[in-house]
Amino acid sequence: MIAFTRSRSAKILAGVALLSASAMVIAGCSGTPSEEPSEGGDSPAADLTLKLGSLLPQTGSLSFLGPPMESGVGLAVQEVNEAAAGVTIELTAEDEGDTDTKAYETSITKLQGADVSAIVGAAASGVSRLILDGNVSAGILQISASNTGPDFTDWDDNGLYFRTAPSDLLQGEVLGNLIAEDGAKTLGVIYQNDAYGTGLFENIQSTFENAGGEVVASASYNVGDGQFDAQVATIQAENPDAVAIVSFDQFKTIAPLLSNAGVSPEKWYLVDGNLSDYGSSPDTNFPFSLEGAQGTKPGPALEDDFTDRLQTFWTGEGNPEVNDFTYAAEAYDAVVLVALASLAAGSTEGADIAAKMQEVSGGSGEGEKCTSFADCAAIINDGGTADYDGYSGEVTFDENGDPTGASIGTYVYGADNLITRTN
Q: Which of 248, 254, 290 has the alpha carbon at shortest distance from 271?
A: 248
User: What is the pairing mode between strands 161-163 and 214-221?
Assistant: unpaired
Residue with more model confidence, 104 or 149:
104
- Are residues 239 and 139 both part of a single domain? no
Nearest residue to 165 (alpha-carbon basis) of 8, 10, 271, 79: 271
* CB environment 3-17: b (16+ within 10 A), e (fewer): ebebeeebebbbbbb
Rounded-to-integer distance, Cα 231 and Cα 61, Å: 19
Same domain, 330 and 267: no
Cis ω on the peptide bond leading into residue 378 (within 30° of 0)? no
Whether pLDDT at 210 is above 90: yes
Same domain assignment for residues 193 and 281? yes
Whether residue 29 is predicted with pLDDT greater than 50 in this model: the reply is no
CA dist 377 to 15, 47, 342, 345, Å? 29, 12, 10, 12
> So what's the pLDDT on residue 281?
55
Q: Are residues 27 and 141 in the same domain?
A: yes
The pLDDT score that the predictor gives to residue 405 is: 77
Please tell me what DSSP assigns to residue 422: -
Rounded to whole angstroms, the Cα distance separating 300 from 329 reads: 9
Determine the 3-state secondary structure of 34 from DSSP.
coil
Backbone φ and ψ of 187, nearest 5°: -140, 140
Cα(133)–Cα(394) distance, integer angstroms: 28
Contacts of 109 (CB under 8 A, 6+ apart): none
**368 and 417: one domain?**
no
**Band of pLDDT at residue 280, cut at 50, 70 and 90:** low
Statement to judge: residues 102 and 184 lie in one domain: no
φ, ψ of residue 93 to 5 degrees: the values are -105, 130
**What is the predicted pLDDT for the residue at 24?**
30
Residues 159 and 175 in one domain: no
Residues 147 and 27 in one domain: yes
Number of H helices, E strands in the chain: 11, 16
Where residue 156 sits, what CATH number does that domain have? Answer: 3.40.50.2300
Residue 284 lies inside a defined structural domain of this protein: yes
399 inside domain? no
Of 42-46, 152-156, 212-216, 369-373, the poorest mean pLDDT is in 42-46
Assigned domain for 4 exists = no
21 and 142 housed in the same domain: yes
Residue 177 near residue 12, CB atoms below 8 Å = yes
User: 16: pLDDT confidence band, cut at 50, 70 and 90?
Assistant: very low
Instruction: Lowest mean pLDDT of 47-51, 193-197, 290-294, name the range.
Output: 193-197
Q: At residue 346, what are phi and psi to the nearest 5 degrees?
A: 65, 35
Residue 11 has a pLDDT of 29
> What are the φ and ψ backbone dihedral angles of 217, each rounded to 5 degrees?
-155, 140
Q: Are residues 335 and 120 in contact, defined by beta-carbon separation less than 8 angstroms?
A: yes
Using the Cα atoms of residue 190, residue 194, residue 200 and residue 202 in order, give the sign of their dihedral: positive
* Domain annotation covers residue 397: no
Mean pLDDT of the chain: 89
Report pLDDT for 14.
36
Q: Kindly state whether residues 191 and 243 are assigned to the same domain.
A: yes
* Alpha-carbon torsion angle 146, 152, 157, 160, nearest 10: 30
Asked if the structure places residue 191 within a domain, the reply is yes
Q: Give a yes or no: residue 124 inside a domain.
A: yes
Q: How far apart are CA 263 and CA 256, in angstroms?
A: 10
Residue 40 has pLDDT above 80, yes or no: no
Enter the DSSP assignment of 55: E
Task: Give the number of domains in the chain.
Answer: 2
DSSP strands (E only) in 140-247: 141-144, 161-163, 186-192, 214-221, 242-246
DSSP string, 340-382: HHHHHHT---HHHHHHHHHHHTTTTS-SEEESSHHHHHHHHHT
Q: Which of 403, 364, 402, 404 minimizes the C-alpha distance to 157?
A: 402
* Whether the predicted pLDDT of 90 surpasses 60: yes
Query: Could you tell me if 269 and 319 lie in one domain?
Result: no
Which residue segment(s) compose the domain that 320 sits in? 17-165+308-388
- Within a domain: 7: no
Q: Where are the alpha helices (DSSP H) in 211-327?
A: 229-238, 251-260, 304-316
Give the mean model confidence (pLDDT) for residues 251-273: 96
Assess if residue 194 is contained within a domain: yes
Q: Are residues 244 and 346 in the same domain?
A: no
State the burial class of residue 34 (Cβ atoms within 10 Å of its Cβ: 0-12, 13-18, 19+).
Answer: exposed
